[in-house]
Structures are given as C-alpha cells and as structure tokens.
Amino acid sequence: MVVGTVITIIIVLNAAIAIVTVFRQPRDIAAIWAWLLVLLLLPVLGFVLYYLFGRKLSTNKLNALATQQRLGIDQMVAAQQDAIDETDAPLGQDLGSGAELVRTLLKTDGALITTMNDVQLVTEREDFDRLLFADIASATDHIHLEAYTIQPDQVGLALRDLLVTKAKAGVRVRLVYDTFGSHRLRPKFWQPLRDAGGLVEPFIATKFGRVNPRINFRNHRKLTIIDGRVGYMGGFDIGASKRHLAIKRDSQLRITGQAVATLQARFFMDWNTTAKVKKVHFQKSYFPDAPDTGRTTMQIVSGGPDQNVEAIKLGYLRLIALAKKRIWIETPYFVPDDSLLDALAVAAGSGVDVRVMVPASSNIPLMTKATKFYLARMAKNGAKTFLYQEGFLHSKTIVVDDRFLSTGTANLDSRSFKLNFEIAAFIYDPALVKEAAALFEEDMNHAIRYTRQMAESKSRLATLDEELSRLLAPIM
C-alpha cells in the first residue's frame, strides 16, 4: 500500500514537472508532444535528455544572432524591397510569377537577389573534393570555412594541412565548425593550424564539448569563401566516417559572382556570434568587385532558431504554390509538418507531378522509419514516392516546373526548419533547373517506386514502429 502510494506520488510529480518544463518556453506543438512523451515515459533519463537536447537558446544568444550587422547589405536589401514593391522586374530581371518568391524571401530573411552569377552544380564527392582543394590552394588573401562535419580521416587531415600551408604563407584563415557534427575531432587536431596563425572556433560551444546544453542547436551550414571571389555551399561534409553509410551523391554549389558577398556576410555574422575575440569588421578585400559573366539569378536564405519566422520553409511553401507542372524533391529525411504536407497534397490533387525521393537507408534509422510514414501519406495523396537504392542519397533539392531550383543544407524536416542553423539557395535559372531535373531522372534509375499498396501491405508492427518514430522525429 505504501509502495503504491509512493509510486503514485512520483508519477504525479513527474507529470507535473514535465508539463511545467515543456510549456515554460514557446515551441511547436509536435515538439511539445514529443518531449512530453519522453519525460513521462523516462522519468529520470528523460530530463537528462531534455537538458541536453530540449532547452532553447538563451534570449541573450538569440538577440546576438538576430542583431548582427549585415556589413552594408541591409541597405541593399531595403532598396530591393522598395524596387520590387514598385515592379515585378527587380534589377531588370523579368521573373514573372517568380517575383512573388523573390518578395517573400526579401521580406522574411532579407535575402538579397543577385544576378549574373556563375554557378556550378557539383554532385559527386570526388569532384567536390578536387574543386574545393584546388580553390583553397589558389587563395592569396583569405579562406573562410564553416562546416558541420569535419572527419579526422585522410580528407580532413589533408584539408587541415593545406590550411596550415596557406596560413604560413600569410593567407588569413578562419574556420567555424559544429561540435556535434564534428564530434570525432579532438582539440589538438587544430593546434597546427592555430600555431600557423589560423583562427578556429567551435560554433556557440562550451568548454564541455559534447556535453553541451546548446547541443540541440546545431550549425548545419556548410560554407567556404575564398578571397571573396569563390564560394561553396551545399550538402557535402569534409571526409567520411567508416561507421556511417558512405555519401557519394549530394548537391553542392560552386559560385562566382555577386552571391559570394552574401555568403561572406553570412559567415561574418556567424563568426562574430561565436568568436570571443578577433571579431571581423568590413574590409574592402573581403568584398571585391564581382565579375558579371554568369547567367544565374539567385537568393541565399538563412534559417535558424534566431528567426521569428521559418524563412526557408516559407520559401518552400511559396515554391510549391507556384508550381504548375512539377515538384520534384530529393531529401535524406522527409518529415514535413502539416503545412508542407498539405501544400504538397493540394499540388498533387491539382494535377502537378509531385515526386519525392529519399534513400532506402540512412544514418539515423529512426528518421528513416518516420520518413516512410510520411511517404505513405504522400502516396495516398497522389504523389509518386521513391526509395533510392545506391547508398545514402544526401542531396537536398527541390525542382519546380522549368523555372525554379532550391538546394542547400536543409532537410525537409522540423529540425532543419526550427532547430538547426541552415542555408539554402533559391535559383532562377532554367539551365540549372534542367540540369537538376536530369539528375533526378538519373537517380530514378537507381530507385524503386514506393507505392500505396506497399505501404498498406506492411505488418501492423512495422506500421506502429513508423508511427512511434514520427512522434520522436521533431526532437531528433
């Protein structure tokens, strides 16, 4: 009797504390239910997990992220906002209905629209490594690199040693990395670069490393800026882990032109947020005049918990709304919220060719199961869904009609929109759209169709496993 009373008291107290803990800060309803489930089912361990993964960034940190100066770009954004309010052809570019997307991204994220960029879509790891190392080797003024995962393997060591060589030659080297994504790195890994004069900072980390109450807010942005003239952004990490599925197929952009300045500004904002000393201020050498030799018009959009709105997701919603013929999506994880799910269902129901391709297996089994739950929903809504069979497809692209392409670091899941610091390019270039569509069709040759019948034929146990996985997906 006494034991039963004590257990009842513990359960009631745990439930009360769980409710207070989860509701003390505003958060998405899906995350609220997921954390309540964890805290209620795992009374002690649940609170440890919440401390590490569930707490939001402090108000001071959010304010620091949100109030960074845009190095003069804010004034350019304001001018473009005024121009697009007056005409649907900003900077002389006739974007048609795409002006609605431009306007949305300008207003939600201050995403500067740039023209005449030269953009190369890189999809194979060997090509990415070769191009990146060649550009870094040619640097004469500065190298700025922001990474989620850097592995201490042959590629990671080669990159570090190349940066050491450049720093010794007088090139200014700054590097920001995420401590969760790069958890295999030890502090001594960077010592040769620091000894050579390079600057290295873990992103908003603490001295405790992985045991970090901010670890749930991961810097998933992957940027490289070389001499202010060449920029990289996209999905490829540096190196590979032998314990994870190999990633051979991804999407990365190599950019020259005006858009490199927006990548540079993004890097400086992140650097000044996390660096305790040696913050960066405007210098002309960081923003050289860009050649106007390319054909690509584009906007670079940032996402993160420092925003009042989910800018990248809003961009995706606008893209989907603009579709007349097709929406082709590749993503490692497909765990959309109701707004994206409904938007895609409406598009499919109106006759738009909606296709979603994901890898059959990934490095996070729970997310793979949750993804299959939503693939089944999409198949029932009339979309065509595919499971890629040739390894871990890591590409994150959205192709809309023959006019729009988006690619970057964000997966189509709640973490990417709410918790991670992400970056995405919205591209207005029919030639690049055609190239991305051809890549999608090539990937279909290595994929199987995941049909409604396949989803409905699974055992009840397998279906329940997927349903439980999607409950936890918002906090993974």
DSSP 295-324: -EEEEEEEE-TT-SS-HHHHHHHHHHHH-S
Is residue 116 within 8 Å of 257, Cβ to Cβ? yes
Which residue is listed with tokens 């082709």?
Answer: 328
Q: Is 434 a catalytic residue?
A: no
Catalytic residue among 142, 144, 166, 220: 220
Q: How many CA atoms lie within 13 A of 47 on its CB side?
A: 10
Catalytic residue status for 384 = no
Judge whether 432 and 296 are in contact, CB under 8 Å. yes
Which of 270, 306, 337, 401 is the catalytic position? Answer: 401
Give rounded-to-5 percent helix, strand, coil for the chain.
45, 20, 35
Our answer to whether residue 142 is catalytic in this structure is no
The CA R_g of the chain, rounded to the nearest whole Å, is 23
**What is the rounded CA–CA span in Å between residue 319 and residue 326?**
11
Distance CA 110, CA 74 (A): 7
- Residues 6+ away with beta carbon under 8 Å from 40: 14, 15, 18, 46
Alpha carbon distance 344, 431 (integer Å): 25
How many C-beta neighbours within 10 Å does residue 351 have? Answer: 10
153 is catalytic: no
* Long-range pairs of 202-208 with CB within 8 A, sequence gap ≥ 24: 202/176, 202/177, 202/178, 202/274, 203/176, 203/177, 203/178, 203/179, 203/270, 203/274, 203/421, 204/57, 204/61, 204/273, 204/274, 205/179, 205/274
The CA-based angle 343-349-352, given to 5 degrees, is 80
396 a catalytic residue: yes
Q: Which of 109, 178, 227, 237 is catalytic?
A: 227
Q: What 8-state DSSP symbol labels residue 373?
A: H
**Is 166 one of the annotated active-site residues of the chain?**
no
Residue appearing with tokens 């049909």: 451
Q: What are phi and psi of 69, to 5 degrees?
A: -75, 145
Query: Of 140, 311, 292, which is closest to residue 226 (Cα–Cα)?
Result: 140
Strand, coil or helix: 374: helix
Q: Which amino acid is at 46?
A: G
Q: Which of 142, 222, 313, 372 is catalytic?
A: 222
On whether the CB atoms of residues 362 and 323 are closer than 8 A, the answer is: no
Catalytic option among 142, 166, 372, 396: 396
Which of 144, 166, 372, 394 is flagged as catalytic? 394
Cα 131 from Cα 8, distance rounded (Å): 63
Spatial distance between the Cα atoms of 433 and 441, rounded to a whole number of angstroms: 12
Q: Which residues are catalytic?
A: 220, 222, 227, 394, 396, 401
